Structures are given as C-alpha cells and as structure tokens.
Amino acid sequence: MEQLEQRWHDLMRQLNAPARYVILLWREIILAYSEKSRYYHNLSHLENLFNQADQFKNQIIDFETLQLSIWYHDIIYQCLRKDNEEKSALFAKYRMEAIGYPRKKLVKCYHQIIATKNHQPHPEADSDTLWLLDFDLSILGKSWEEYLKYAQQIRKEYAVFPSFLYKKGRKKLLHQFLEKEKLFHTETYYNLFEANARNNIRKELKLL
C-alpha cells in the first residue's frame, strides 16, 4: 500500500496535478480496488502490473500514460456488467481532464483501457498498449499453482452466479483465449508465457 501511494504521489507530482485533486483521486482508487468483492482485481493486481512495467520501463515510450492506464483499467469492476472497461476508460477520462492531462495523451489512455476488454488490440495500437495487455494477462502463463490461485479468485468474484452458469461462461472465455492466434503481443512475453498459458488454460478446462 505504501509503495502504491508513493507511486501515485510521484506521478501526480510529475504531472503537476492540482494539489486539491491528488488525495481525492487517490482515495477513490483505494476505495475501488479494496472493495470486498474483489479477490483478484485489487491492489495486489495493480502492484503486479506496476512491477512488470518497471521491469520493462526502457521499452515503454510514454510511461506516464501507461501508469495512468494501469491505475484506472479496473477502476470499475462489477461482475454483472459487460461494460466495465468502457466505464473505466470514461472514468479515467474525466479524472485526467480534471488534472489538466494533455488531450492527446488522455485519448491514448482511454484507448489503452478499452483494449483490455478483449485483449485484442486495434491494428494501429501503439507498442505501449501491447505491453499493457501482456502485463494484464501474464498471470495466464505463470506456474500452475499461481494460475490456479488466480482462477479460484476469479470464481469468488463471480460468486453471485451458480456453478453451472459460471462454468458455462468461464469455458466460453477460455475457449476464446485458445482460439486466438496469439495470447501475448510482445515478442518478450510471447516467448516467456505463451506455451505455458495455453497449457494452464487447457488444465483449467478439464477442471470445469
């Protein structure tokens, strides 16, 4: 938590954000990602993405915008909605307008968040968007133990659905992943995680 808070304040300082907004926006983020219904899409998820972003910072063109996209990509997350990414992107747009973020970068942030909806970037998507998508999906290619924990956390987030409905929806999503030509868009992450991600997905399907 402390590292995340420091990161937020450092970023806001870099952006010369009006002081009256910095703490208010931080509290919004904390409240959203700390909701009791969030077992995976929470502050730990943000920390994980930021750790990856830091690791590949020299590959990222607009690190400020990428960080904002990470902060806000799951700010709206309700299992009964199908427009979480659109709502999150719009939420980010309003907040970035409030702190005077440049319009061109604001639009970039908006589209990066939208791209996390199906992790299928627009053909003209910039390389930063590809990195964001790979960071977000990297859990699929981790060890089976880590993947299984993630899968169990997702099930808890969808606890409102009875087992037969959840399994039907989850199977559909996993098959959609397997049908993709590539899960990961950067060469680095493709080489690191693609094969193991597909193995993990197939193993989960057998459990459903």
Residue 2's pLDDT band, with cuts at 50, 70 and 90, is confident
Reply yes or no on whether the pLDDT at 125 is more than 90. no
pLDDT at residue 1 in the model: 77
Phi, psi of 178 (to 5 degrees): -65, -25
Phi, psi of 94 (to 5 degrees): -65, -40
CA pair distance 12, 42, nearest whole angstrom: 21
Reply yes or no on whether the pLDDT at 122 is more than 80. no
* Each residue's pLDDT tens digit, 164-197: 999 999 999 999 999 999 999 999 999 999 999 9
- Taking the C-alpha atoms of 78, 25, 108 and 35 in order, what is their torsion angle to the nearest 10 degrees? -20
CA pair distance 42, 21, nearest whole angstrom: 22
Which domains, ranges and CATH numbers included, belong to the chain? 2-207 (1.10.1300.10)
Q: What is the pTM (predicted TM-score) of this model?
A: 0.95
